[in-house]
Amino acid sequence: MERFTVMIRLVHNASPEKGDGLDEEALRWVVRLSSGETTRDDHEDFRSWRDQSASHAAALARARTLWLQLGTAMPILEQRQGWRYGLRRSVVQLVAVAAVLLLCVNLGSQYWFEWRFDHVTAPGERKLLTLADGSRILMRGGTALNINSMRGVRRIELSRGEALFGVRHDPHTPFVVNAGGAQFRDVGTIFAVSRAGDGERLVVSHGVVEASSDDRRAVVRAGQSVSVVAARLQPVRAVDPAVELAWARGRLIVEDQPLRDILTALGPHYAGRIILLNGEIGRQRMSADIDLNHIDGWLSALAQMRGLTTRHIAGYTLLN
C-alpha cells in the first residue's frame, strides 16, 4: 500500500488547479480500486460517483491514463540495490518521474482546457467575437467554445461557461448552439446559453429560440428561460433578462441569495479564487448589484459590513 501512497502524493502535487477537484477525486478512486483492499460498498460508491456526469467519467479516464504512466515508472524505483547508492538513485529517479509527470499533466491540462477549443476566456475575462456573417458572441469568463460553420449551418459548440449570442438572422443558414445534451436553434434573436455541471440553460433577451433535448422541443420567447438537466428539458419560465444577463454589461445582480452562492456566482468573473471560511455568514441571504470590474472593492465593503477579515494569498482571497 506504501507504493500507492507515494503515487497519489506525486499525482496530488502535480495536479493542475483546474478541474474543480474532479481530477483528484478520480485519482483517489483509481488508487483505491488498485489497492486490492476494496469492499463491495466501495465499488457501489465508485459507480455512483462515476455515473454522476460526463465530467466525472472524463476525469476518471484522465486518472487512469496517469495511473498507467506511473505504473510503468514505479517498478524502477522499487529495485533493490546497495543502501546509499540505491537511495540516491531512487531519489534521482523519483524526481525525474515527478518532473515528467508534471510536464505530462501540464500539457494535458493545457490541451483539455485550452488547445482543443477555438476560443477560451480565463476567469475575469470577457471576449467579444464577430463572425463572418456579422453575428456576435460575447464570452463570459471561464468559457470555451468551438465554431463549426459548414453544410449550410452556423454551429457553435459550447463546452463550458456562458456566452451571449447576437445573431444576424438568415433563414437559409440556421444558427445552432450545442451545449451538452441540449440544442438551441435561433429564429432571429439575442440569447444566452450557459453550462454548469450537468445542466444547460437558455435565456432569451429578444426574439425566439427553439430548444430541444431528448426529442423534446420548446419555443422560448423574449423574457423567458429554459433549463436542461441531465438531458431533460425543463418547463419554460419567465425571467428578467436585464438581471439574468447583467454580466454582459459588467454587473452581477442577485436578489435574496445566500452569500456563499453569490461568491460562487462571482467565480467566473474574478481572476483569483474567493474562499469564505465563515460558514454561518455564508448562509446569510442578501441582495447585491456588483460592479464586475471592481470585485475587490465590493469584497472589502462586504468584509467591513459583515465584520470579516480579508487576506490575499497567492491568488486566493480569504474571508473569515
Please report, for the domain that includes residue 306, its CATH number.
Answer: 3.55.50.30
Within-domain flag for 59: yes
Question: Do 217 and 256 sit in the same domain of this protein?
Answer: no
User: CA-to-CA distance for 90 and 157, rounded, in angstroms?
Assistant: 47
Residue 107: phi and psi, rounded to 5, are -65, -40
Question: Do 255 and 170 sit in the same domain of this protein?
Answer: no
SS3 content of the chain, % helix, strand, coil (to 5): 40, 35, 25
User: CA-to-CA distance for 220 and 244, rounded, in angstroms?
Assistant: 15
User: Domain residues for 310?
Assistant: 250-319
Question: Do 236 and 123 sit in the same domain of this protein?
Answer: yes
Hey, what amino acid is at 317?
T
Question: Do 61 and 101 sit in the same domain of this protein?
Answer: yes
Question: Do 156 and 129 sit in the same domain of this protein?
Answer: yes
Question: Do 111 and 138 sit in the same domain of this protein?
Answer: no
pLDDT (0 to 100) of residue 3: 42
Question: Do 135 and 72 sit in the same domain of this protein?
Answer: no
Model pLDDT for residues 192-217, shown as the tens digit of each residue = 999 987 789 999 999 999 999 987 99
Within-domain flag for 245: no
User: Do the beta carbons of residue 28 and residue 50 sit within 8 Å?
Assistant: no
Question: Do 75 and 61 sit in the same domain of this protein?
Answer: yes
pLDDT (0 to 100) of residue 85: 47
pLDDT (0 to 100) of residue 187: 82
Number of domains in the chain: 3
- Residue that is last in its domain, among 203, 220, 240: 240
Q: Per-residue confidence of the chain (320 residues) as pLDDT tens digits?
A: 444 444 444 444 444 444 446 777 777 777 777 666 667 777 778 878 888 887 787 788 777 776 665 554 444 444 444 444 455 555 555 555 555 565 555 545 554 556 688 999 999 999 999 998 899 999 999 999 999 888 789 999 999 999 999 998 888 899 999 998 899 999 878 999 999 877 899 999 999 999 999 879 999 999 999 999 988 999 999 999 999 999 999 999 999 999 999 999 999 999 989 999 888 999 999 999 999 999 999 999 999 999 999 988 888 899 98
Q: Is 78 exposed, middle or buried (0-12, 13-18, 19+ CB in 10 A)?
A: exposed
User: CA-to-CA distance for 194 and 179, rounded, in angstroms?
Assistant: 8
- Residue that is last in its domain, among 219, 240, 261: 240
> Scanning the structure block, which residue is given the C-alpha cell 460508491?
45
* Whole-structure pTM value: 0.67
Question: Do 127 and 31 sit in the same domain of this protein?
Answer: no
Nearest alpha carbon to residue 163 among 224, 197, 120: 120
pLDDT (0 to 100) of residue 222: 96
Question: Do 107 and 15 sit in the same domain of this protein?
Answer: yes
pLDDT (0 to 100) of residue 95: 54
Question: Do 92 and 173 sit in the same domain of this protein?
Answer: no
Question: Do 196 and 288 sit in the same domain of this protein?
Answer: no
- Residue that is last in its domain, among 115, 144, 170: 115
Within-domain flag for 208: yes
